[in-house]
A and B are shown apart, each in its own frame.
Chain A
Amino acid sequence: AQSVTQLDSQVPVFEEAPVELRCNYSSSVSVYLFWYVQYPNQGLQLLLKYLSGSTLVKGINGFEAEFNKSQTSFHLRKPSVHISDTAEYFCAVSDTNAGKSTFGDGTTLTVKP
């Protein structure tokens, strides 16, 4: 069985400040890891994914994440946030079947002016 824990339910941050959204996972098999963003009343959009190779993954909108196998973590970072980054962020883990993903409960990122 797989599980995902997003350690912060809400993260308030000022515009242009750096941000880190934390995600831990558990799985008995090799996994693929994903971060999605969900804007109000919309579906989920993929920010980035880790499949294999380099543990530092770069995604869209200036986001990046680092896969740490020993700590079973996949934290999302951005060096300077914008008001438009205000949204819900979900971390997800998938087994060899990319369609079945297990999601965390989400982190609400609020960027304040």
Chain B
Amino acid sequence: DAGVTQSPTHLIKTRGQQVTLRCSPKSGHDTVSWYQQALGQGPQFIFQYYEEEERQRGNFPDRFSGHQFPNYSSELNVNALLLGDSALYLCASSISGAGNTIYFGEGSWLTVV
């Protein structure tokens, strides 16, 4: 049973460019959350998708957007990249419901130059 898979694992972008990161949730999971983890910090919640709708959102600007597909996979899009967007982007999946364990992927390392 595959866990949460993310792609790409590493990428380098230039300031002002746009990036799309992808996530396939663990089998049977219907909820996908995205987190940004800057170097030396804990993960920060970006948003969560359930039934193809954004259900919750953290304190991130509109440059950060996402999508969930009917097969529950998800994309994170970041427009007009800034140097400060350089981070590890983590996808987490779960089964909707209080207290259900969330499983993290290994992340996508984004470097903005």
Whether A43 contacts B99 by the Cβ 8 Å rule is: no
One of B12-20, B38-46, B60-68 at the interface = B38-46
Partner of A97, one of B41, B43, B56, B90: B56
Q: Which of A46, A51, A103, A105 has the most CB of B within 10 A?
A: A103
Binding site for B on A (CB under 8 A): 4, 32, 36, 41-46, 49, 51, 90, 92, 96-106
Please tell me if the beta carbons of A98 and B94 are within 8 angstroms of each other in the complex.
Answer: yes
- Chain B 68-104 interface mask (CB, 8 Å, partner A; 1/0): 0000000000000000000000101010111111111
Q: Which residue of A lies closest to B95 (CB)?
A: A98
> CB distance B41 to A100 under 8 Å?
no
State whether A97 touches B98 (Cβ < 8 A). yes
Inter-subunit contact B41/A44 (CB<8 Å): no
- Pick from A97, A99, A105: contact of B92, CB under 8 Å: A99
A2 to nearest B CB, angstroms? Answer: 10
Given contacts A99-B92, A100-B33, A100-B48, contact A49 B104 (CB under 8 A): no
Say which residue of A43, A98, A105 sits within 8 Å of B100 (CB atoms): A98
Q: How many residues of B contact A (CB 8 A)?
A: 30
A sample of 23 cross-chain residue pairs with beta-carbon separation below 8 angstroms, ordered by A number, consists of A32-B98, A43-B90, A44-B90, A44-B92, A46-B102, A49-B101, A51-B99, A96-B98, A98-B97, A98-B101, A98-B102, A99-B31, A99-B32, A99-B48, A99-B50, A99-B94, A100-B45, A101-B43, A103-B42, A103-B43, A103-B44, A105-B41, A106-B42
A-B pairs, top 8 by smallest CB distance, nearest first, are A103-B42, A43-B104, A99-B33, A43-B106, A44-B104, A51-B99, A99-B48, A96-B98
Contact indicator A101/B45 (Cβ below 8 Å):
yes
Q: Which residues of B contact A103 (CB under 8 A)?
A: 42-44
Residues of chain B contacted by A44 (CB below 8 angstroms): 43, 90, 92, 104
Chain A nearest CB from B100 CB (Å) reads 5
Q: B90: nearest residue on chain A (CB-CB)?
A: A43
